[in-house]
Amino acid sequence: MWRYLKKYWLFFILAPLFMLGEVSMDLLQPRLMGRIVDEGVLGLSNGGMGDVSLVLYTGLRMVCLVLFGCFCGIMSGVFANLCSQNFGNDIRKDAFRKVMYFSFGQTDRFSTGSLITRVTNDITQIQNLVTQCIRGFVRTFLLFAGGIVCMLSLDLHFGVVVACAMPLIVICVIFFIGRANPMFTVLQDKLDRLNNVMQENVSGTRVVKAYVREEYEKERFGRANDGLTDTQLRVLLLFSYMTPIMNIILNVSVVAVIKVGAIRVEAGNVTPGDVMAAVTYISQILNAVMRVNMIFQTVSRGVASGRRVREVLDCEPAIADGTFAGNTAVRGKVEFRDVSFSYPGMGGERVLSHLDLTIRPGETFGILGATGCGKSTLVSLIPRFYDATEGQVLVDDVDVREYTLRGLRDKIAIALQKSEIFSASIRENIAWGDPAAGEEKLRHAAEAAQALAFIEEKEDGFDTQVTQGGHSLSGGQKQRVAIARAILKDAEILIFDDTTSALDLKTEAGLYEALRREYAGVTKIIIAQRIASVKDADRIAVIENGRLAACGSHAELMESSEIYRDICDSQLKR
């Protein structure tokens, strides 16, 4: 993490320097108060006659020193926060940037809720750690060391009290921190679980309501929240035992200082003002040690969170960038050579097995098969959402691993099964395909996607705001917006992953007719469950259990493929 702090080295230095000024003022106060008592009130050097002018003068000095200390404290806080907030801002941006380049497998491994916790709460804990180190820790150490020096300068016998109290304080701190430290990692894991439940319920609220599962989800959230609360309570209870024990040691130490001071005053070695100053110093010393309790809580939380954030920052994207920019003579060709694929964490179980397939440039290519046969997995290898476990995937006769990710994905536009719609206007959602597109191009893409009619019926047209997740649009409207976004990109390969499932047959037919007429040179790969969606394609691949069972035109497959005929019979001859 040091590389993130180096940018703000000036703030990192100024914060403790100003804290030194604040603590110095705190350490001067007891001596000045002792002088007021000894000379201004008791008049020890003036035959027992007090000196009001000395009281006023010294009191005014104390007020000025307090104001200066206050200024130093404010500046210390300002620089500490400038350092920690900018430091946290940089880490949060880098962590989010890492997450954006994670493969699907890496995102699944961390879980969405955990990544949210790490980028938000965990980084906040690290920020608190930085603030505590350059401000709280410095203040504690200076008060502790300075208080001991100042108290011993009054009389060395006061050191006996410190020597007796310190081991008790240290043992107490070590015991409680040692017990609490492992709980902070558990605490963050519990927060992960809570965020996962919350994220699932917010995004899936319609399903929860449709199945009247509110009570069940309330119980599930309650269990996750109870787990978090129980862990937090254990930590807080542990430290609640610590505070009174430390207070007892503090009060006993104050009494001991008064006793030692009384003996030394009677012997004529110290003055009453010195005893009063010593009581203040011992309070500062032991309060500084007690503050270690809070510091170690912050440090323990920060260290635990730091480990979790480093896991994200140190995690190299599983999909590594190649070096080829993507300029090829061939445009729109896709080839699978002896491709096999297994999802991470599935014990090597193959989803695709030794699959060979070539999709020609400009071809409309359908992919058909039963649910779970590997259709979506197959096309997800083209833009490298995953890499093939065995074999090669080639785009324009170049292995996809050799492309830069940007160079490869610029060639491809994809509309997924789940239409991802963002909380923005319809215009902005479609313009993801090409942010620089003009109004005419935007309307043309919407018209080809059969979306223009419903968009123009809305009061604000393209500027209609869409709610989070696209819930203000119907399923068919969301799919058409997603299709328009893909068409707008002007890519050489267009992939529809069961993207027309919510469209009626007339709208779907209009879409494919527009694609054939206006995007004839674009390679179109259509994954579908319905024969009607792919029967007019140039060729159709039938996938069965991760293998290529048959490939040809509709007419050819009706002659040669029993599997294809069975699917046709089940759908078209009802």
50 is a domain residue: yes
What is the pLDDT confidence band of residue 337, given thresholds at 50, 70 and 90? Answer: very high
Q: What percent of the chain has pLDDT over 70?
A: 97
CA distance 474 to 466: 11
CA distance 359 to 336: 9
In three-state form (DSSP H/G/I as H, E/B as E, the rest C), the secondary structure along 408-469 is HHCCEEEECCCCCCCCCEHHHHHHCCCCCCCHHHHHHHHHHCCCHHHHHHCCCHHHCECCHH
483 is a domain residue: no
135-180 tens-digit pLDDT? 888 888 888 888 888 888 888 888 788 788 878 877 877 787 777 7
Q: Is 66 helix (H, G, I), strand (E, B) or coil?
A: helix
Q: Encoding tokens for residue 222?
A: 């309650």
**Torsion from C-alpha of 12, 18, 23, 28, nearest 10 degrees:** 160
- Candidates 359, 347, 348; CA nearest to 548 is 359
Going by the DSSP 8-state scheme, the letter that residue 521 receives in this structure is T
Contacts of 469 (CB under 8 A, 6+ apart): 203, 421, 423
Which of 209-213, 397-401, 408-412 shows the lowest mean pLDDT across its residues? 209-213
Residue type at position 152? L
Burial tier of 393 (Cβ tally within 10 Å: 0-12, 13-18, 19+): buried
Q: What is the CATH number of the domain that holds 276?
A: 1.20.1560.10
Give the mean model confidence (pLDDT) for residues 494-503.
85
pLDDT score, position 68: 94
58 is a domain residue: yes
pLDDT score, position 574: 52
Q: Is residue 438 predicted with pLDDT exceeding 80? A: yes
- Please list the helix, strand and coil fractions of the chain in percent, rounded to the nearest 5, in that order: 65, 10, 25
pLDDT score, position 395: 93
520-547 tens-digit pLDDT? 889 999 998 888 888 889 999 999 888 9
What is the CA angle 240-241-243, rounded to 5? Answer: 70
Stated as kind and residue range, the H or E segment containing 543 is strand 539-544
CA distance 477 to 205: 20
Q: Is 498 left (phi over 0), alpha (psi -120 to 50) or beta?
A: left
Q: In the sheet where 398-399 sits, what is the strand order?
A: 350-359, 334-342, 390-395, 398-399
Q: Is residue 355 predicted with pLDDT exceeding 70? A: yes
CA distance 448 to 505: 15
251-270 tens-digit pLDDT? 888 888 888 888 888 777 88
20 is a domain residue: yes
pLDDT score, position 382: 92
Q: Is residue 188 predicted with pLDDT exceeding 80? A: no
pLDDT score, position 251: 80
Going by the DSSP 8-state scheme, the letter that residue 496 receives in this structure is E
21-58 tens-digit pLDDT? 999 999 888 888 888 887 777 777 777 777 788 889 88
Which of 67-71, 114-118, 356-360 shows the lowest mean pLDDT across its residues? 114-118
122 is a domain residue: yes
Q: Is 359 helix (H, G, I), strand (E, B) or coil?
A: strand
Averaged pLDDT score across all residues of the chain: 85
Burial tier of 504 (Cβ tally within 10 Å: 0-12, 13-18, 19+): exposed
Q: Is residue 204 predicted with pLDDT exceeding 60? A: yes
278 is a domain residue: yes
448 is a domain residue: no
Burial tier of 451 (Cβ tally within 10 Å: 0-12, 13-18, 19+): buried
CA-to-CA separations, 336 to 340, 352, 378, 382, 494, in angstroms, rounded: 10, 11, 9, 9, 17
Q: Is 212 left (phi over 0), alpha (psi -120 to 50) or beta?
A: left
What is the pLDDT confidence band of residue 209, given thresholds at 50, 70 and 90? Answer: low
Give the mean model confidence (pLDDT) for residues 460-469.
84
What is the pLDDT confidence band of residue 210, given thresholds at 50, 70 and 90? Answer: low
Q: Is residue 81 predicted with pLDDT exceeding 70? A: yes
Instruction: Tell if the pTM clears 0.85, that is, is over it.
Output: no
Q: Is residue 206 predicted with pLDDT exceeding 70? A: no
Contacts of 535 (CB under 8 A, 6+ apart): 366, 554
Give the mean model confidence (pLDDT) for residues 270-282.
84
CA distance 287 to 146: 13
523 is a domain residue: no
Give the mean model confidence (pLDDT) for residues 380-394.
91
Q: Is residue 70 predicted with pLDDT exceeding 90? A: yes
Contacts of 87 (CB under 8 A, 6+ apart): 1, 4, 5, 7, 8, 126, 127, 130
pLDDT score, position 200: 74
- How many domains in the chain? 1
- Cite the DSSP H helix spans in 45-110: 52-100, 104-110
Q: Encoding tokens for residue 303?
A: 């260290």
> Which residues span the domain enclosing 84?
2-313
Q: Is residue 105 predicted with pLDDT exceeding 60? A: yes
CA distance 319 to 104: 10
pLDDT score, position 228: 82
pLDDT score, position 20: 92
CA-to-CA separations, 376 to 365, 428, 454, in angstroms, rounded: 14, 27, 29
What is the pLDDT confidence band of residue 394, given thresholds at 50, 70 and 90? Answer: very high
Contact 414, 398 (CB under 8 A): no
Please report where in the chains the tokens 């300068």 appear, as a residue.
153
Going by the DSSP 8-state scheme, the letter that residue 400 receives in this structure is G
Which of 188-197, 513-522, 542-551, 555-564 shows the lowest mean pLDDT across its residues? 188-197
Indicate if the alpha-carbon torsion angle 553, 559, 565, 571 is positive or negative.
positive
Going by the DSSP 8-state scheme, the letter that residue 365 receives in this structure is E
Q: What percent of the chain has pLDDT over 90?
A: 20
CA distance 144 to 372: 67
Q: Which is it for strands 350-359 and 334-342: parallel, antiparallel or unpaired?
A: antiparallel
